Amino acid sequence: MKDEPGLLPVLTVTSGGWQGVSFRLRTGTWSVGRQEGSDILLEDPKVSRRHAEVVVAGGEVVLRDVGSTNGTWRNDERITGPVRLCDGDRLRLGHVRLRFFDPAMASTDPVGTLVMLPGRAPRADRAVKPGQGPRAALAAPTQAMDTAVRGGGTRLAMLVGGCVALGGGLAVAYQIFQ
């Protein structure tokens, strides 16, 4: 695991109003909680002010609960001590569900994510529409962005084909009812 944007581990929100928002995790310790100033801010009433920490060091990512009221869950099991995260792990803090992706392990693919830097999550009291948000938050283009750009030609071809088919149908109807 290197500190290159495309190779950094990613935490992606998979439920709720922030679904699709991802946090690229550089080497260090990241605080997770509801408290203003948390590196990964999750504004959910069931998330504690200081809920958990994610430590990225030595090629490993470790999650630990820091005394939260409702617990921290990995793959539907409440964690009781530090746990090493593996690619594809499902996490739950309060009502917020997340998925852990590590391109260095790469058995999964975080397609369709909006990548946010830690501490830059959209706030629950403001609506965030797709395609909006701080431009500086994008650390690198995601595969979903690349696919959307390439997919534009397919949509255009389908639109043109539909118009041609509609025109042909109208020509046949004109000939029949003339």
Query: Other CB atoms closer than 10 Å to residue 160's CB: what's the count?
Result: 10
Residues 65 and 19 in one domain: yes
- Let me know whether 115 and 178 are in one domain: no
CATH number at residue 62: 2.60.200.20
Shared-domain flag, residues 118 and 147: no
The predicted structure's pLDDT at residue 111: 53
Q: Does one domain contain both 129 and 146? A: no
- Shared domain for 168 and 110, answered yes or no, is no
Q: Do residue 36 and residue 114 come from a single domain?
A: yes
One domain for residues 74 and 131: yes
Residues 85 and 156 in one domain: no
- Looking at residue 142, its pLDDT comes to 47
Local confidence pLDDT in tens for the 178 residues of the chain? 445 656 799 999 998 778 888 899 999 999 999 999 999 999 899 999 999 999 999 889 999 999 999 999 999 999 999 999 999 999 999 999 999 999 877 655 555 555 555 555 555 444 444 444 444 344 444 444 444 445 556 677 777 788 888 888 888 888 888 7
Please tell me the predicted confidence (pLDDT) of residue 143: 47
Residues 77 and 135 in one domain: yes
Does residue 146 sit in the same domain as residue 135? no
Residues 124 and 168 in one domain: no
pLDDT at 85: 96
CB atoms within 10 A of CB 87: 19
Domain count of the fold of the chain: 2
* Structure confidence at residue 110 (pLDDT): 53
CA distances from 19 to 63, 94, 115, 156 (A): 21, 15, 11, 28
Note down the domain range covering 129: 5-140
Pair 20, 108 in one domain: yes
